[in-house]
Amino acid sequence: MTRYVFITGGVVSSLGKGLASAALGALLQARGFTVRLRKLDPYLNVDPGTMSPYEHGEVFVTDDGAETDLDLGHYERFTGVAARATDSVSSGRIYSNVLEKERKGGYLGKTIQVIPHVTNEIKDFIRTGHGETDFMLCEIGGTVGDIEGLPFFEAIRQFNQDLPRGQSIFMHLTLLPYIKASGELKTKPTQHSVKELRSIGIAPDVLVCRSEGPIPVKEREKLALFCNVRPDSVIAAQDLRSIYDAPLAYHEEGLDQAVLDAFQISPAPRPNLAKWNDVRDRIDSPDGEVRIAIVGKYTQLEDAYKSVGEALTHGGMANRVRVRAEWIDAEIFDKDDVARQLEGYHGILVPGGFGERGTEGKIKAVEFARTRNVPYFGICLGMQMAVIESARNLVGIADAGSEEFDDEAGEERCTPVIYHLKEWVQGNHSVTRKKSDDKGGTMRLGAYTAMLSEGSRVAGIYDARRIEERHRHRYEVDTSFKAQLEEQGLIFSGMSPDGKLPEIVERPDHPWFVGVQFHPELKSKPFAPHPLFADFVRAATEISRLV
Ligand code: GLN
């Protein structure tokens, strides 16, 4: 039997609903249950693939090639359960499915309405994979009261009615603002938010309240009384030092117990929190600190590279050091000296990115790392920058560049060592793309296999010859330049199984220099740091101890 927990938010956005959902998932697992987490987003984009990282943060990619909300990254990092395309949906996708069905005559001439057609489409989405896990946690994006969110709220209200009693509950996350002048935590916004929910037929079973400090008994009782929940179902969510403290902190506040009580699961299985205690211990007692420079484009918003930052933290945990990641805007190198900016870092990372802006600065950062023997980790665009740098400065192709930077008319402005891929193999079928294809659909997306060369650094790091990693890119390194680049020490140590697409480059003559065409950060977890991040931080730690 699958039980459903619907997670909604009120009062303000950015309260950490995704984190609360992920932490609850981890706690249910710790009690021996299987879980899956889902995100339902009210915005009208069909998927976040075409949204600016400034608008929506990072695009998280699943193994099966979906471009999803970054909350799915939290879910994976906390539960270790690989997200699927069917774990994320937006209003845009729902409406587009409904309209497509309508055009195909799927509704037999009926008038198409929000209720029941749109709500049914949402319920079908929620029901996907019913029976596969003990719990399904569905987070509704946005805040109660948003116009776009209404069909989702109506759908979960109906879903709860469709199921036998006791098989689904509602958890609502709100904010208790602290008023300094009177020294009080205010419950009124939460009361209003719950009132709003109840007006659309949803009565929360568990209230999670973000607050700066503990919730005094008086306020807890007041919330319980006015919001019609049990006092021990009012859970305090205080600000945390590290997000990875969330499972233990929520457990200490009684969240998992409150959820199991709401389902009347009794006696509740005892939790095994050893994994999360180890995580807390590693965060609490680091032995030293390493400084990593992340040279990128979207540096004003950390969420734009959410998974990279988290994977570095995990790499630090693997080595029991604290990683201080600093974001440097690549464009600064147009004006300022690279050496002045990058001096003193123990490692340099160039993450993924799109478009030409900032790329010359990134190439300078690669050159600095290569010539100064600073550990270098290039991810996706960061690998392409490493290839261009060697092509220009070592092979002697002065105008080496990427087709991505050609002007709109497609006029070549460089010798492309990185080219636009139009046909490739995924598993046992081939995929073709045209430049004119829809924006969302022109990329190599999702999990692909790479074969690692025997004796290479990466084969040692992974301790494997065959790996699977997630991709999200249009352009590829051109193998026509492979021999020349390898002669200059840039070795192609990972290739697609058919030998056509370079997946990894590395420099054996350097303390640590690896470029990967995929996104390893998407698969890293605090309790299972990604081997590349763990080893990159290890190399950076060695450098930090030399000086
Ligand atoms: N813009 C590059 C490409 O499309 C790199 C993409 C990325 O870094 N994710 O190939």
For residue 53, give the CATH number of its domain: 3.40.50.300
Residue 58: active-site member: no
Domain identity same for 338 and 419: yes
Residue 379 alpha carbon, nearest atom of ligand 1:
8
- How many angstroms does the Cα of residue 371 sit away from the middle of ligand 1? 25
452 is a domain residue: yes
- How many angstroms does the Cα of residue 95 sit away from the middle of ligand 1? 29
Domain identity same for 311 and 267: no
H-helix or E-strand containing 208?
strand 206-211
Domain identity same for 393 and 472: yes
Query: What residue owns the CA closest to ligand 1's atom 8?
Result: 352
Residue 380: active-site member: yes
- How many angstroms does the Cα of residue 504 sit away from the middle of ligand 1? 14
176 is a domain residue: no
Domain identity same for 248 and 338: no
152 is a domain residue: yes
Query: What residue owns the CA closest to ligand 1's atom 3?
Result: 473
Tell me which residue has tokens 């995924």: 426
Residue 519 alpha carbon, nearest atom of ligand 1:
9
Residue 382 alpha carbon, nearest atom of ligand 1:
8
Domain identity same for 314 and 431: yes
Residue 122 to residue 125: CA distance in whole angstroms: 5
203 is a domain residue: no
Rounded to whole angstroms, what are the CA distances from 235 to 134, 230, 257, 303, 417? 23, 10, 10, 27, 55
Burial of residue 156 (CB within 10 Å: 0-12, 13-18, 19+) is buried
Strands 67-68 and 60-61 turn out to be: antiparallel
Domain identity same for 254 and 350: no
- Where does 84-241 have alpha helices with state H? 91-103, 119-127, 150-162, 188-199, 217-227
pLDDT tens string 307-328: 999 999 999 999 999 999 999 9
- How many angstroms does the Cα of residue 476 sit away from the middle of ligand 1? 9
384 is a domain residue: yes
Tell me, what's the pLDDT at 312?
97
- How many angstroms does the Cα of residue 393 sit away from the middle of ligand 1? 22
- Among residues 380, 389, 471, 503, which one is catalytic? 380
What are the residue ranges in the chain where pLDDT is below 50?
Answer: 440
Domain identity same for 273 and 330: no
Domain identity same for 320 and 303: yes
Domain identity same for 305 and 402: yes
70 is a domain residue: yes
Task: Provide residues with CB under 6 Å of ligand 1.
Answer: 352-354, 380-381, 404, 472-475
Phi-psi domain of 514 (left: phi exceeds 0; alpha: psi -120 through 50; beta: other)? beta
Residue 154: active-site member: no
User: Which CATH number goes with the domain that contains 356?
Assistant: 3.40.50.880
Q: Which residues pair with 60 in a beta bridge?
A: 68
Tell me, what's the pLDDT at 109?
83
Domain identity same for 91 and 126: yes
198 is a domain residue: no
Two structure tokens written together for 130: 């019913």
Domain identity same for 302 and 253: no
Q: DSSP string covering 125-150, please?
A: HHHTTTTSSSEEEEEEPS-TT-TTTH
Two structure tokens written together for 471: 């991709």
Q: Best of 350, 356, 474 to mutate for ligand 1, by most ligand atoms within 8 A of CB?
A: 474
Tell me, what's the pLDDT at 441?
57
End-of-domain residue from the set 258, 279, 300? 279
528 is a domain residue: yes
**What number of CA atoms fall less than 13 Å from residue 401's CA on the CB side?**
15
Tell me, what's the pLDDT at 340?
83
Q: Which domain holds residue 419?
A: 288-546
Sheet holding 234-238, edge to edge: 88-90, 35-41, 135-140, 3-9, 168-175, 206-211, 234-238
Domain identity same for 83 and 106: yes
Q: How many domains does the chain have?
A: 2
Query: What residue owns the CA closest to ligand 1's atom 1?
Result: 354
- How many angstroms does the Cα of residue 3 sit away from the middle of ligand 1? 39
Tell me, what's the pLDDT at 337?
82
Q: Best of 50, 356, 384 to mutate for ligand 1, by most ligand atoms within 8 A of CB?
A: 384
